[in-house]
Structure 1
Amino acid sequence: MSSRAVRALALATAALAATTALAACGSDDDTGAKADTPAGAAAEAKSVRLGYFPNITHAPALVGVQKDLYKNALSGTELKTQTFNAGPAALEALLSDAIDATYIGPNPAINGWIKSKGSALKIIAGSTSGGAGLVVKPGINSVADLKGKKIATPQLGNTQDVALRAYLKQNGLNADTNGGGDVSILPQDNATAVQAFAQGAIDGAWVPEPSLSKMLLESKGKLLVDEKTLWPNQQFVTTHLIVSQKFLKQYPGTVTKLLQGHIAAVDYITGHDADAQKAANAHLESLTGKALKDEILAASFKNLKFTNDPIASSLYTSAQHAQDVGLLAKVDLKGIYDLGPLNELLKAAGQPEVSDAAAS
């Protein structure tokens, strides 16, 4: 990120803080506003609790934490982090007030919106596009060949699970939620699916990176469906950043600074690819005890696009897909985005603003 962009983001953050209405202040507990918040400034929390996954699709979080980009942006506010292995767990933590913000996939965010009747969360930034698909055994050459096969997804109702079920339905195949139907869909966490595929216990899996590249490069799988080919402009939301509405209302200044760190992380990845890969891998190793092989790391990054754009149109389509396969009732997603603070920062940095429109 250039020094000019950093200065612009800092100025935008200060401007937003000065013009945002003051939330309740004077509390000095762990999530309260700083006691010395000046009159007329946006309230800031003593700490912010951020969730993310030990996964390359969450690279902005990995790099941002590893390179202290959030810490630098948050200045006096302490960053507390917590990692999760699946979207539903991260969502539950947000709903139970165990975290304040998290990187997460589209379908768990939609589920949280429904569960809370639109009161629990806001999507405040994009993060990652692409990097998911269906890897199968070499002998499977078409969607028709999937009939009678066992295909894994990370979790029932998660983003990749919905994508697989929608794809099967669009191609005349059915799958129920108990593993029955034309195709048996088995919920397995990504690490288990990678191992099961290597051992021949499953015929394939619809997974995100780096599991996708592991199956292709280590187990000689075949990419039957690259999910980006199913979307307009080959872009769809894989990961975005959400925040609890309660925290957003109480501490808009802190949320703006968190976004400043997020933008810095996305800019760092796009401008320093090799070093960003090293930083992400180093943080992965610190979280899991094991770094990715260089070829897996490089393939994963190549298959992903890191962006501040939440690609809102794909979120609405994902919701429709979940409805079509019976995993979601009809839902009104109006109001799920709050991109105002992000766009103020992007505008100040000379970057394109992003949209929450249903159609691209």
Structure 2
Amino acid sequence: MRKILQLSVSIILLVGILAGCSNDGDNTVKIGYFPNLTHVATIVALENNYFEEEFGHGVTIDTLQFNNGGLFMEAMQTKEIDVGTVGPGPLLNIYVKNPEFHIISGAVNGGAVLAVTKDSGIDDLEDLDGTRVAIPVIGSTQDVMLRKALQEVDLDATSSGGTVELFAAAPAETATLFTQGSVEAAATQEPWGYTLETQADGKLLLGWDEFAWGKESTNTVVAATSDFTENKELTTAYLTAHKKAVEFIKENPEEAQDIVIKHIQELTGKEIDKEETEVAFSRLEVTTNVNEQVIQEMADISKEAGYVDSSDITGLIDLSILEEIE
């Protein structure tokens, strides 16, 4: 009987050790974001150690950077990341096929513009008829915003011709496309809009406060997997850090700009212009708010474009934990 008892205790201890190892693995939070200005809240939260402070010493933080929302969502689907900042366009396109991801906070409104080449002869939206417009990627937030703007003048956009032809290209490549005459316009995020103005002889057709939904245009949100949001403690910690970053940026815009410049330079090795950053910051608004009507309209436009079969995004937006913090 005594041997059986000892064996039982040994099994219990072994199970406890294995469980402890399993928990160690579970205590890694994988955060994704883009190394650009519309992801400023995530960058500031990382640089100011807000995530470390809120998660505590028992949690390891891993980060991954992405160049577009499609790659971000692919990583989220394969569980390479748990949470992070991304445009709502790619997120809702995946959500209608696999509702395992959620918007749990806003991050940035605005921060995107519609620019044209100066010699294109384009002075109004109607003039885009028959032109080629650069977007970051098909189905991106800027793609959806462009479609919203074109609806106002009864123009259609397709990736294979049509009244307005979409041309997918990395934002960093749009200046070259402008100077080569490969496109007449670009729907892009900052600071690339300012770059087109100053380095590619471009001009703004629609500023950040006019493009698509204007100042209500949701450019960046906090997205998370269902598995992550089921852990309320971790989700609360992330959102608390995110909210602290948003407040810091609003109260200390110049310091926030310096933080972003340093962070992006260290990641990419590219020199970031201070004036360019300052102008770009003036064209966006950091926020935790989410305009649910705008997100729904984005889903409707994505369906009309054929990116998704349904625009039913019930459950996509879950601000319940954020509201408890606020």
The alignment's TM-score, normalised by the length of structure 2, stands at: 0.88
What is the distance in 2 between the residues matched to 1:146 and 1:103? 31
**1:238 equivalent in structure 2:** 219
What is the distance in 1 between the residues matched to 2:87 and 2:24? 32
**Does the C-alpha gap of structure 1 residues 255 and 26 become closer, same or farther in structure 2, counting only changes over 3 Å?**
farther
Q: Secondary structure of the residue that 1:228 maps to in structure 2?
A: coil
**1:50 equivalent in structure 2:** 31
**1:149 equivalent in structure 2:** 131
Q: Which runs of structure 2 are paired with 1:171-250 in the superposition (5 Å)?
A: 171-178=153-160, 180-229=161-210, 234-249=215-230
8 A Cα contact 2:179 2:200, kept in partner: yes
Question: How many correspondences in the alignment?
Answer: 307
**1:339 equivalent in structure 2:** 319
Task: State the superposition RMSD in angstroms.
Answer: 2.0
**Does the C-alpha gap of structure 1 residues 342 and 183 become closer, same or farther in structure 2, counting only changes over 3 Å?**
same
Q: C-alpha displacement at 1:34, in angstroms?
A: 5.4
8 A Cα contact 1:122 1:243, kept in partner: yes
> What one-letter code is carried by the residue in structure 2 that aligns with 1:105?
G
Q: C-alpha displacement at 1:192, in angstroms?
A: 1.3
Out of 123, 131, 146, which is 1:164 matched to?
146
The alignment's TM-score, normalised by the length of structure 1, stands at: 0.80
Percent of pairs with identical residues: 29
> What one-letter code is carried by the residue in structure 2 that aligns with 1:142?
D
8 A Cα contact 1:163 1:321, kept in partner: no
**Does the C-alpha gap of structure 1 residues 203 and 302 become closer, same or farther in structure 2, counting only changes over 3 Å?**
same
Q: Secondary structure of the residue that 1:49 maps to in structure 2?
A: strand
Structure 1 unaligned segments of length 5 or more: list them: 1-24, 36-44, 347-360
What is the distance in 2 between the residues matched to 1:195 and 1:232? 28
**1:33 equivalent in structure 2:** 23
Residue deviations 1:161-211, cap 9 Å, x none?
122133224312223222x11222101011112322233332110001111
Q: C-alpha displacement at 1:89, in angstroms?
A: 0.6
**Does the C-alpha gap of structure 1 residues 247 and 140 become closer, same or farther in structure 2, counting only changes over 3 Å?**
same
Structure 2 unaligned segments of length 5 or more: list them: 1-16
Out of 47, 66, 91, which is 2:47 matched to?
66
**1:87 equivalent in structure 2:** 69
Q: Secondary structure of the residue that 1:326 maps to in structure 2?
A: coil
**Does the C-alpha gap of structure 1 residues 247 and 127 become closer, same or farther in structure 2, counting only changes over 3 Å?**
same
Q: Which has the higher helix share?
A: 2
What is the distance in 2 between the residues matched to 1:87 and 1:200? 26
**1:6 equivalent in structure 2:** none
Name the stretch that deviates more: 219-228 or 128-137.
219-228
**Does the C-alpha gap of structure 1 residues 305 and 27 become closer, same or farther in structure 2, counting only changes over 3 Å?**
farther
> What one-letter code is carried by the residue in structure 1 that aligns with 2:140?
N
Residue deviations 1:7-66, cap 9 Å, x none?
xxxxxxxxxxxxxxxxxx98344xx5359xxxxxxxxx4210000001100000111112
Q: C-alpha displacement at 1:263, in angstroms?
A: 0.8
**Does the C-alpha gap of structure 1 residues 177 and 184 become closer, same or farther in structure 2, counting only changes over 3 Å?**
closer
Name the stretch that deviates more: 298-307 or 228-237.
228-237
What is the distance in 1 between the residues matched to 2:313 and 2:166? 28
8 A Cα contact 1:58 1:239, kept in partner: yes
What is the distance in 2 between the residues matched to 1:242 and 1:270? 22
What is the distance in 1 between the residues matched to 2:147 and 2:320? 34
What is the distance in 2 between the residues matched to 1:284 and 1:130? 20
Q: C-alpha displacement at 1:326, in angstroms?
A: 3.0
Rg larger in 1 or in 2? Answer: 2
**1:113 equivalent in structure 2:** 95
**Does the C-alpha gap of structure 1 residues 236 and 169 become closer, same or farther in structure 2, counting only changes over 3 Å?**
closer
**Does the C-alpha gap of structure 1 residues 150 and 133 become closer, same or farther in structure 2, counting only changes over 3 Å?**
same
